Amino acid sequence: MSNESCEIALVKLDNRHLEGALKLSQEFSWPYRLEDWQFAAQVGEGVVLERDGEVLGTALWWCYGARYATAGMIIVTAKAQGGGHGSRLFDALLQSTKGRNVLLNSTEQGLPLYRRRGFEPWGMVHQHQGILADVPQIDRSDDIRPATADDLAAIQALDERAIGMPRQHLVAALLGAGEGLVLVRDQEIAGYAICRRFGRGYVVGPVAAASIEDARRLICAHLVKLRGRFVRIDVYADDGLSDWLRELGLPLAGEAVSMVHGTTPAPVAPFHMYAVANQSFS
């Protein structure tokens, strides 16, 4: 091992690293704000490569029950690439997830590393974003309303059915950071959507519902308040929302390959996750 490698320490992510993590993500033109890093660290865990106090790499994960975890915000600065540091960082992440099935969304550049570690593709996420010029027309019936604190348990239960993983802590934190809407049918919550500040503007997600029509209505109920704002929505490519989002003026800005190490979670029909909270949390 070279002297340079010896100087690079692998340590647990904590608050002192967040300014450096922000700088690292800016090196790759990722849109995170410091507040976004703070939120991610609050609801998850991570490791950092650092040398003389400088953050050279990050990897974060979020555990959902005993069986599942997601991984993301995996970055290694250009000046530390090529020395095995990315593998070292990612191996520490996998070890920390303690045998869980691990999901992540990969860029093209990350695919070789993840494939070498046993990850297999299972789908694709489409990233749509832009300045929302027009307010979409929606059915303004009264079955969509703001979420309240009394709705939390029902939203958490619906989220688990829609994505197949218990994410109670994440859902509570997302609702605390943003605005939630629920769709009520037969006096039961049949869908929900959260909008919050993120990156260059606002992100709509997660969005969980029993049909694509319900998902569209929940998304539109948020978008009517976001005219002239920068909006981002990340959806699964197979669900048929991408063309509709383009028609609303939110073009496709990027794609990520959804991968799993182990088995994918099993949602409970008819509920489905149509838009992700972000590509790291899923």
pLDDT in tens, 187-222: 999 999 999 999 999 999 999 999 999 999 999 999
Q: What are phi and psi of 112, to 5 degrees?
A: -60, -45
Distances (CA, A) of 218 to 55, 63, 77, 144: 39, 27, 39, 7
Mean of pLDDT values over 169-184: 98
3-state secondary structure of 54: strand
- β-bridge pairing 201-209 and 272-275: antiparallel
Please give the average per-residue pLDDT across 10-30, as a whole number. Answer: 96
Q: In this structure, how many other beta carbons lie within 10 angstroms of the beta carbon of residue 155? A: 23
Q: Cis before residue 146, ω within 30 degrees of 0?
A: no
Considering the four listed CATH numbers 3.40.50.300, 3.40.630.30, 3.40.50.12780, 1.10.8.60, the one that applies to the domain covering 127-255+262-275 is 3.40.630.30
> Measured between alpha carbons, how far is 174 from 277 in angstroms, rounded to an integer?
8
Going by CATH, does the domain composed of 3-99 fall within 3.40.630.30?
A: yes
* Confidence at residue 139, expressed as pLDDT on a 0 to 100 scale: 67
List where CATH 3.40.630.30 sits in the chain. 3-99, 127-255+262-275
- Per-residue pLDDT tens for 235-280? 999 999 999 999 999 999 999 999 999 999 999 999 999 999 999 9
Please tell me what DSSP assigns to residue 113: H
Confidence of residue 3 (pLDDT cuts 50, 70, 90): very low
Average pLDDT over residues 11-30: 96
